[in-house]
Structure 1
């Protein structure tokens, strides 16, 4: 979605893709179906980062569990001043880098087990991104926009910068509602607080968001987990100024909403459990915050994913043709990642596994 909007606004874009998506991008360029029709524009697409060369901005739009294998392959895209924008669900590897406070520099093994991502993408390159929109893939190379168009951008160390303002301007010109945050970790935690329960519970039960919230017992469990996550947020300087009940009313208004994790489970794709729940429990342990309800949620969902062959770490140790990290090791970008060639920075769309990662010029 983001690639199509950027191209339509006149940005020069490039995409790192593979398979049928690569073929479609080469044939048709970017395509996005909106309420007003199909928009898009040209793109230079390749499955070889070296063929694209250094970018002004690289947007990472893969699933979080694909990043450790993908990150080391990105070197050809990174010039001296390249900005990297991870538009990925959950808590990112850089979350505590330069943020100050008691937990400054805390390494998060749940999302970067051996430090591969941090080594390949130094935090100094990163502009944080929180995505608030819904889109899906109709077919390879063709996305459909469902709702929302908000992106929050921020420097990991806080404050603002010239590159942040320039990136926000470019993204705004492409039609997104852009907010520049001076505390991006707070925005990441708030979004996580709202979806770290609905996503795994939907994958575990097969229920849409409305059915989860309409069940009195499950609703109570959701609020208990959210309470634990809010307590962790207080310890790390990311307080939540809203009640769980009020937040869930926002979710309820979405109706029979199918979360991204439910869609992945139904399609037999690996689940983003570690970036949404395992990492939160890891932070809880570092802060000494008890999380009995969160532990139950993680244990049940992880076991369910393992039984169904959908837990990424199990796939890493027993590679299958569906393992995106093995595809990356084969010398290609993961199934949907991308980079925009030339110019300024660009972010990307909600289902982070549905597009190639992109970058673009100012």
Structure 2
């Protein structure tokens, strides 16, 4: 579900396997192209197409072994409202998305176990549509772009980190890792997938909204000492929240900045969304962190300032709903 850059890349790799029947839920030009010409992937080795059974109505596809959800966070509630026909008793649902997922506190055995994150699932509809036993966590480390509807360009990175929300190594997880690796992904089995999600978020939650607000590439943000200091302050707040949740980050903000700076004049995904007039993922990247801060008793004045400024900017430009989060 979601045949954009990441979803298209993942689908194309899986679709090359002779024993995998690839299906997709799509609409508009993407649906038409998939039905006529299949899914096209262009990478360093060339360009190729894979056949896909694409439908607008999930009921025409029926239960699947694995459902990959690769949409932007603002679209998630609407997308999963139609997921029911795809779910069988043993169907795995693997969201391949940025930010804090709705199931982030599932699988815990403490006071926060199963807490519903209203910042990312305000009405509880996502959790209702995708019951926790179906979920497999996933972190994607790859860069892709859309060249045209159903035509994906893969730039770099093949990494997938996958894990059960409760940290166990189950037969279904091991089987999934095997299949993903066979398809060409560099797959890592995680026994603490929330830590992997939090670590990726730790860098994204500052660079993304600040770049969307300013129009600046990451090098310009990091080369300004005041902006860099602001980013570091937010990251320290997030690091403290993670520590309360048992998710340690063994890195200083400056270490992460150095890694990001090596990317050069890089446009974040949120900046690309803003430039294209698409809704931005503020709730999954920032609001969820504020909610977890309140839950764990960690003050987040810098992250709150980031959320407020980003929210107003996004509302003015029609990229975020006017109702306050």
TM-score category, normalised to shorter length: over 0.9
Q: Which residue of 2 aligns with 1:340?
A: none
1:72-221 matches, within 5 Å, as 72-221=81-230
Any idea what the Cα deviations from partners look like across 1:126-152, whole Å, max 9, x if unmatched? 000001111010100001011111000
| 1:46 correspondence with 2:48 | no
- Deviation, 1:29, is 1.0
Q: Does 1:225 align with 2:234?
A: yes
Alignment: residue pair count: 316
> In 2, distance between residues paired with 1:263 and 1:100?
39
Secondary structure at the aligned position of 1:301 is classed as helix
Report what 1:4 is aligned to. 12
Q: Map 1:210-359; keep pairs closer than 5 Å.
A: 210-311=219-320, 313-314=321-322
* Cα distance in 1 for residues equivalent to 2:299 and 2:290: 9
In structure 1, distance between residues paired with 2:104 and 2:90? 21
Structure 2 gaps of 5+ residues are: 1-8
Query: Does residue 71 in structure 1 map to residue 80 in structure 2?
Result: yes
TM-score by length of 1: 0.85
Q: Given the alignment of the two structures, is residue 24 of structure 1 paired with residue 33 of structure 2, yes or no?
A: yes
Q: CA deviation at 1:39?
A: 2.6
CA distance in 2 between partners of 1:314 and 1:298 (Å): 14
2:323 & 2:289 partners in 1: Cα distance? 22
C-alpha distance in 1, partners of 2:109/2:192? 11
Distance (whole Å) between structure 2 residues aligned to residue 272 and residue 280 of structure 1: 13
Q: Using the alignment, how far apart are the partners of 1:315 and 1:179 within structure 2? A: 39
Shift of the alpha carbon at 1:310? Answer: 0.4
| Residue 315 (structure 1) shift | 8.8
| CA distances 1:198-232 after superposition (whole Å, capped 9, x unpaired) | 00000010001111111111011111110110000
Instruction: Please report how far the alpha carbon of residue 88 of structure 1 lies from its aligned counterpart in structure 2 after TM superposition.
Output: 1.0
Query: Is the alpha carbon distance of 1:315 and 1:51 closer, same or farther for their aligned partners in structure 2, counting shifts above 3 Å?
Result: farther
CA RMSD of aligned residues (A): 1.4
User: Does the CA contact (< 8 Å) of 1:8 and 1:39 recur in 2?
Assistant: no
The 1:167/1:40 distance shift into structure 2, 3 A limit, reads farther
**In structure 1, how many angstroms separate the alpha carbons of the residues matched to 2:77 and 2:65?**
22
Q: 1:268 to 1:253 in 2, by over 3 A?
A: same
